[in-house]
Amino acid sequence: MNSLTELILPNVVLTCLTTDKFKTNCLSINLLTPLNRETAAKNALIPAVLCRGTATLPDMAAISSKLDSLYGARIKPVVRKKGEIQVIGLYADFADDAFIPEKCDILEQITGLISEMLLMPKTRGGLLLRDYVESEREKLLEQIRGRVNDKRSYSVQRLFEQMCAMEEYSTDKLGSETEAESITPNELTRHYHALLAASPIEVFYCGSAEPERVKAALKTTLAALPRSDEEPDLGTDIRMNALEAEPRYFEDRLQVTQGKLAIGFRLGDCMEDPNAAAIRVFNAVFGGCATSKLFMNVREKLSLCYFASSFVDMHKGILAVSSGIEFDKYDAALSEILSQLEAVKSGEVSDYEIEAAKSSVVSDYLTIEDSPLALEDFYLNQALIGPDCSPSELAALAEEITLKEVVEIAKGVECDAIYFLRGTEEDA
Amino acid sequence: MQKEYFKNIDETLISEVLPNGLKINIVPKPRFSKSFAMFATDYGGADRRFKLAGQWIDTPAGVAHFLEHKMFDMPDGNALNALSSRGASPNAFTSSGITAYHFESTSRFDENLRTLLEFVSTPYFTPESVQKEQGIIGQEIRMVEDTPGYVMYYNLLKCLYASNPVRDSVAGTVGSIAEITSETLYRCHKVFYNPSNMTLAVVGNVDPEKVIEMARELLPSEPGEVPERDYGERETEAPRQKSIAIPMEVSAPQFLFGSKLAPEKKGAARLRQALVGEIALRLIFGASSPFYVRLYAEGLINNSFDYELDYTSGTAMILAGGESRNVDGVMNELSAEIGRIKADGLDKTLFENTRKSCFGSQLRILGSFSSLAQTLADGAFADYCPLDAFEEIKKIGLSDVRDFITVNLSPEKLALSVVSPLER
């Protein structure tokens, strides 16, 4: 698998992963923009509106039928939050030419279509179609309101909203309901032009075509891309310490039968010069894999919960634990989770635990190379925060991580906030 | 050992049936880092009443799922830990129809496969471990009770089916799992985890001969009795109840509708029916269908709308649904659409494009090791080869698809389940 990264237009970087390993290829175009409360919902709305109609394929029926005729190719709007950068994109996946029963240059057709969606949306009088804007705005609102339906992710989202209240990170990738409600076609059209011109763009391709072919196709279809001289200030504010001496506590009450406990930590010192592989191994030891301390102790040994796991956001330097518990197990579960972190800090990690954690991280890295979707996200992260190496190189680094490095990372970790989603019926 | 090369998709399928009845299917993927193995038994939540040595036996709801949780326990430790500690990602699931154990790994595949075959074929339960698991599963049952999709699904199945046990939760209830003892588990393991009732599917960077050899070495050599199941009274074509609605903590009404169809039980006919169904459902519910496009544009549905054709426990059903502010509006539009298709037929270009699109989605399955292994396992239990889909799909005609739609999506066959927001 050969990777090649190249500037193909001003502030437009193409990463090409050339391989004939996959029968389905992918191509994505991503605009990078600062995450903030005022623009998040508008940004999130844009790719959805772009997918509704273009100058030559004016409605969803026309676009979908074109995609169907390209053997079920798909182009989807994708909105991601990478620390305090919001990534607004279109992601296409499509059959490799070699495996379809007739000759057709799917890559060129997809490149043409995705670029047209980005650059030539259906407009009337220069404005994005009112119909499309309003209907997608309603759907965005439904999605924002629908976040409460998945109690596990909702509890983590509520944790970050409150723990990082003074940081842009508190903004959800879809923005807020109030902001979304007020979007008009006029405003969105203006915002779309500004976003398109100002945003650095990351293009990613993974498939069998030679980079020259991909580049040639994109240079033609993106020729009309506007580029402004203004550079947005992209980056993430990484706070090293908890805000207060004791973790802050937040709660909500909803009509649920099981409580959700979410705990947020600052990774601290290790973010000065982050060693991605080591931080992943630390997380795997603590709560990021099936042999982790949280899984083995909080879930298996003490039966305190149905799930308990941790994850890190490398962009922001945050560690979070998410757990589902009975309401009356709050104290026991919280104290057990925190004491497991203390155990890592004091080096109480067996050889078995560290080796198992390393194997899990190595495997996670290696499997990235088996999936175009995972590769796309990996190289986007790499473009934003590095490190400049392939998944298999990171896997090799993870093999070498020592307990000492894990303990060093753990020592810098500080608990910043605790969030508990509890029932309306139970006693306070 | 049978080896078949599928030139059109550049894949090879290795298959073998061991003397003990175990069906093995392997698709080698030599250029990938990872490998995926699935060891599955034709035993799920709906297999509660069965006949063994001439005698009918009843078991509490939730045994198959309970077994799934407990199988990882071994006399010398926990298989989940053994696999995880080697960096593998093991997991398992129980549906109404099957229980499957699987892992994905990027190294030490042989050791991992050995562990998989051993732990699934070694029952080891103690009264203490059973009691502890009752607590864990009790939590799981409570958790899914908060999940709108889950509640809506079982409510729909209770509308569709009068007596088929698919209508009950795979996990059972807190009450039914309290009846489960280690004896229940030993007995059901003995009955359903015999190789004649099981299949092994492997996709990845593996040596097929070694896989087959290992299964031969580790599993019992004699075939076992495959028990007859009782899935209740023969179901009528129409649903038992037309609709159900309940309030829950959700932001907007969620809906799921469905219909029962007469399943082709086995072989090429089954594969063909599934493919006809896939094209038909995509044609009527897919993103380019007139129905979807119109309802999406009118704001009656959003992109949470999804659909599937599901075969399980001697039955087959169409399920479709999503979120809508006006569920009745959606259902009225659907019956109008079916009416139009009955009267005017299907658009030929739409049909051709939809068939191409289904070809592409079959191709996508080949890139997902877990999906491919799952289809190999499904194929093994229903006696068809999923890789035949690429040729079979070309033979499907417009009238097959029209008939499927008009017969199976007629308004009188549909039942509807709704979860609506709580009134404040």
In this complex, which of A68, A305, A359 lies closest to B356 when CB atoms are compared? A68
CB contact under 8 A, A60 and B349: no
**Integer Cα distance of B285 and B295 in angstroms:** 10
Strand, coil or helix: A306: strand
Q: How far is B172 from chain A (nearest CA, A)?
A: 16
Which of A22, A196, A2 lies closest to A93 in space, CA to CA?
A22
CA B359/CA A99 separation, integer angstroms: 10
Please state the ipTM of this predicted complex: 0.85
Query: B111 CA to chain A: closest CA distance, Å?
Result: 14
CATH of domain B243-421: 3.30.830.10
Which residue in B150, B295, B356, B359 has the most chain A C-beta atoms within 10 A of its own C-beta, making it the best mutation to test that interface? B356
What is the residue-level pLDDT of chain B in tens, covering all 424 positions? Answer: 999 999 999 999 999 999 999 999 999 999 999 999 999 999 999 999 999 889 999 999 999 999 999 999 999 889 988 999 999 999 999 999 999 999 999 999 999 999 999 999 999 999 999 998 998 898 889 888 888 999 999 999 999 999 999 999 999 999 999 999 999 999 999 999 999 999 999 999 999 999 999 999 999 999 999 999 999 999 999 999 999 999 998 889 999 999 999 998 899 999 999 999 999 999 999 998 999 999 999 999 998 999 999 999 889 999 999 999 999 999 999 999 999 999 999 999 999 999 999 999 999 999 999 999 999 999 999 999 999 999 999 999 999 999 999 999 999 999 999 999 998 6
Please say whether the beta carbons of A86 and A80 come within 8 A: yes
Q: How distant is the Cα of B162 from the closest Cα of chain A, in angstroms? A: 29
**B215, B378, B381 from B22: Cα distances, Å:** 9, 14, 10
State both tokens at A421.
């989603």
Average pLDDT, chain A: 95
Contacts of A99 in chain B (CB under 8 A): 8-10, 363
A353: closest CA of chain B, how far (Å): 8
- How many other β-carbons are positioned within 10 Å of the β-carbon of residue B131? 12
Q: Which of B89, B296, B359 sits opposite A60 (nearest CB)?
A: B296
**What confidence category does residue A427 fall into, taking pLDDT thresholds of 50, 70 and 90?**
low
Residues in chain B within 8 Å Cβ distance of A355: 85
CB contact under 8 Å between B31 and A21, yes or no, is yes
Q: What are the pLDDT digits (tens) for A201-241?
A: 999 999 999 999 999 999 999 999 999 888 889 999 999 99
Helix (H, G, I), strand (E, B) or coil at B340: helix
Q: Report CA-CA distances (Å) from B30 to A23, A62, A233, B34, B388.
A: 14, 40, 45, 9, 21
**CA dihedral sign, ordered A424, A427, A261, A302:** negative
- Catalytic hit among B68, B104, B323, B337: B68
Q: Which of B84, B146, B357 sits opposite A72 (nearest CB)?
A: B357
* Domains of chain A, earliest start first: 2-221 (3.30.830.10), 248-423 (3.30.830.10)
The continuous run of DSSP H or E covering B202 comes out as: strand B198-204
Query: Taking residues A303-320, what's their average pLDDT?
Result: 92
Q: How far apart are CA B407 and CA B405, in angstroms?
A: 6
B33, B135, B148 ranked by CB distance to A149: nearest? B148
Task: Establish whether B68 is a catalytic residue.
Answer: yes
Residue B349 with chain A: CB contacts under 8 Å: 65
| CATH architecture label of B2-229 | 2-Layer Sandwich (3.30)
| A6 has pLDDT over 90 | yes
| A48: its two tokens | 């959805």
Domain boundaries, given as residue ranges, for chain B = 2-229, 243-421
Residues of B in contact with A255 (CB under 8 A): 248-249, 422
Contacts of A354 in chain B (CB under 8 A): none
Output the six-digit token pair for A375.
């590769």
Q: Do B251 and A148 touch (CB under 8 A)?
A: yes
Picking from A72, A180, A191, A207, the residue whose alpha carbon sits closest to that of residue A121 is A191
Residue A320: beta bridge partners?
Answer: A264, A311
Q: Are B297 and A60 in contact (CB under 8 A)?
A: yes
Write out the two tokens for A427.
Answer: 């006693």
Identify how many contiguous H helices and E strands chain A contains and give both numbers: 15, 13
Nearest residue in B to A362, CA atom:
B87
